[in-house]
Every structure is written in C-alpha cells, then in structure tokens.
C-alpha cells in the first residue's frame, strides 16, 4: 500500500516505463477493480493504476467527504486531492512509470477528485477523461491548464449532476485554457456503453497522448 491507498497496478504490454498510464478513479461504493475493464477497453496499451477510495460513507468507498448530496467538504477535498497527487508521484517511482504520461479516468466521485487535481495541481495529469463530474470548487485564481486535453461526458437526465453544473465545469476548464471535448447522452448518472466508446474514440484520435 502506497501512501494510504490500497490499489492495483497492471503493467502495459510495452512495459511500465514505455507505456502511458491510466489513473482509474471509481465512483461511490466502488473499489480498485471497478474501472479496470473500462481502462483496458479505452487504452489496451496502457498501464492501469487503480486506487481504492479510503473515505467511508455508509459502508461505501469514496475519495473525499461530502456534507450532503452535491455539497462537498472543501477542506477534506483539498487534503484528499493533495494526498492523491502524492500517491501518484510515489506510484510513479515505485512502478517506474512516466509521470508525464498519466491520464485520469474518473467516474462520479472519482471524476470530481480528478477535476480537483486538474485545478489544484495541473502538472500532475497529462489529460483527463471525466464521466459525470461536478464542479469540485471554484478556485480563487484561475489556473493555467495550457491546452490540456479533457474529455467530459454527462447525462442530460442525470438526477445527481444537473446540466447547468456540467456547463459550469466546461466553462471553468475552458477559462483555464484547457481544451474540452464534451459528450452528452440522454441517460442518467450511470456509465453507458456509448460514453465508454466515445472516450475510447477520443483517446485513440489524440496522437499527442500516445
């Protein structure tokens, strides 16, 4: 266990040092196994690094605390974001992965902490695939994401993440000079095969992220 996170690491077929890495961040109640099939589908050539959230809520694993539905404990989010960034740096050394080629793939709570990482520590991630993310917080100073690539999928009928919140998140990233590719579908908060396929197509089209 590195820095408090139980996790799984699966080396890419080309070797850890020569493969990009997907940082897989599960949703509420998930574990280190949840997104491995998705990660392998999106990028068969990648290392997979999948930590388990270490914040319990009613028996479910999360990556940070919340005060109510859609209301985040901001101090805990800050601390947990720093801890996850530290875990990523330690894992890069432990497994010999290229720290400059890490792409976050997050769903729901996992996507929210990935968004927080982008806003607080832009250099920790090369890019991100965010599925059903919310605005984690509004930074006092808009960070510079320098054309960082972000794929963001959302459901128009999501009962947890209102469409207006998704649009705010897109605008926040774009105001930070990130390049955001939105993907909308008509379902709710669950992951859909369509968004997984769209994420795979997006990533395979990005020669700069190989």
Q: Which helix (H) or strand (E) holds 152?
A: strand 149-155
Residue 82: φ, ψ to 5°: -65, -40
Q: Is 108 a catalytic residue?
A: yes
**Sign of the C-alpha dihedral computed for residues 112, 118, 121 and 126 taken in this order:** positive
Q: Is 158 a catalytic residue?
A: yes
Catalytic option among 85, 132, 158, 176: 158
Angstrom CA distances, 72 to 5, 19, 44, 57, 208, stand at 21, 34, 34, 13, 34
Measure the CA–CA gap between 135 and 208, rounded to whole angstroms: 26
Catalytic option among 108, 116, 153, 176: 108
The CA R_g of the chain, rounded to the nearest whole Å, is 15
By annotation, the residues acting in catalysis are 108, 158, 189
């Amino acid at each position: 266990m590195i820095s408090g996170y139980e996790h799984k690491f699966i080396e890419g077929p080309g070797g850890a040092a020569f493969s990009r890495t997907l940082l897989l961040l599960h949703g509420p109640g998930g574990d280190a196994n949840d997104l491995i099939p998705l990660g392998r589908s999106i990028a068969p050539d990648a290392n997979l690094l999948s930590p388990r959230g270490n914040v319990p809520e009613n028996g479910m694993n999360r990556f940070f605390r919340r005060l109510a539905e859609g209301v985040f404990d901001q101090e805990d989010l800050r601390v947990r974001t720093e801890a996850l960034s530290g875990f990523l740096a330690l894992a890069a050394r432990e497994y010999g992965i290229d720290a400059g080629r890490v792409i976050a793939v997050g769903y729901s709570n996992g996507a929210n902490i990935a968004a927080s990482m982008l806003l607080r520590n832009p250099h920790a991630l090369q890019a991100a695939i965010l599925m059903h993310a919310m605005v984690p917080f509004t930074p006092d100073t808009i960070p510079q994401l320098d054309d960082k690539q972000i794929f963001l999928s959302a459901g128009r009928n999501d009962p947890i993440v209102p469409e207006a919140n998704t649009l705010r998140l897109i605008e926040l990233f774009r105001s930070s000079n990130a390049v955001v590719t939105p993907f909308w579908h008509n379902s709710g908060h669950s992951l859909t095969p369509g968004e997984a396929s769209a994420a795979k197509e997006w990533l395979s089209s990005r020669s700069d992220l190989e």
